[in-house]
Amino acid sequence: MTTKIAVVSILTRINYCFDFYSYLCLFKYILSQI
């Protein structure tokens, strides 16, 4: 269940940032996970 929530959270973040510097936002999110 936790994995499913995490996936939904990631998709939500990507969708939220999609129209505004989507790649930059995704890159920052990936870095924050490391």
The dihedral built from the CA positions of residue 9, 11, 18 and 28, taken in this order, carries a sign that is positive
pLDDT for 18 equals 59
* Under 8 Å between Cβ of 29 and 15: no
Report the alpha-carbon distance of residue 21 to residue 13 in Å, rounded: 12
Q: What pTM does this model have?
A: 0.34
Domain ranges of the chain: 2-33
* Tokens matching residue 24: 């930059």
pLDDT single digits (tens) 1-29: 678 888 878 777 766 655 556 677 778 88
